[in-house]
Amino acid sequence: MAPALALAGWCGFAWYVFWQGTVGDPVIWFDSQSYAVVAGHPLWSTGFWAGQRPPLTPLLLKMVNSSTGFTALQSLLAVAAWGLLAFTVGRLVPGGWRRVAAAWIVLAFASSTPVILWNRSVLSESLSLSLLAFLVAAFIWTARRITWPRVAAVVLVSLALAATRDAQVWTVGLLGLAVAVVVGFHGYRHRRLSRRGAS
């Protein structure tokens, strides 16, 4: 019963997010024009990869070649990202109604106006939020059990997040610093315990 309720919640969430992100015309902002300008450069040019905007949003614009396609694509990414995070958080709590409640709380947050209002906009905000949700989910899976595929997922999503907005470079940098501190601390503690055991 609980998995069916969780799936029903995700299906309702998926419909709402995709409908909200694709109903009506895409919202074009002043900054949207600058992303379109970068997307207009050849793919392997300096103007594309080192232009006035980070390259990921222009890359998606170039792939879909329309504002309507872009908002549909970023809405689908939002559905996938927040759905994965809801599933991941749900696995952290005991089964039954607690798991359903945890998943639904994540989906309710992802359905709030400050999150979904960007899905219809030709900007990088929606993509940035979706990648942040992917990154949190990847960190949780990696923290539970470290494997090379999970570490690779964290690295790839971090690089993608850094390529969405200039400010996210600092986010990824601080996360990397935090991980380095935790890994260094655990390594130091392990070496101390090993020396104590040897003596």
The tens digit of pLDDT for each residue in 17-37 reads 999 999 989 999 989 999 999
Residue 192 in this model has a pLDDT that exceeds 70: no
121 φ, ψ (degrees, to nearest 5): -95, 140
| Residue-wise burial string across 57-66, b where 16 or more C-beta atoms lie within 10 A, e elsewhere | bbebbbeeee
More confident residue, 182 or 155: 155
Query: pTM for this one?
Result: 0.86
State the pLDDT at residue 172. 72
Q: Looking at residues 45-58, what average pLDDT do you find? A: 90
DSSP string spanning 61-107? Answer: HHHH-SHHHHHHHHHHHHHHHHHHHHHHHHTTS-TTHHHHHHHHHHH
State the pLDDT at residue 69. 96
State the pLDDT at residue 167. 73
pLDDT-derived band at 141, boundaries 50, 70, 90: very high
% of the chain with per-residue pLDDT over 70: 86
Q: Looking at residues 126-140, what average pLDDT do you find? A: 95
Q: Looking at residues 50-70, what average pLDDT do you find? A: 93
pLDDT-derived band at 195, boundaries 50, 70, 90: low
As a whole number of angstroms, the distance between CA 35 and CA 47 comes to 11
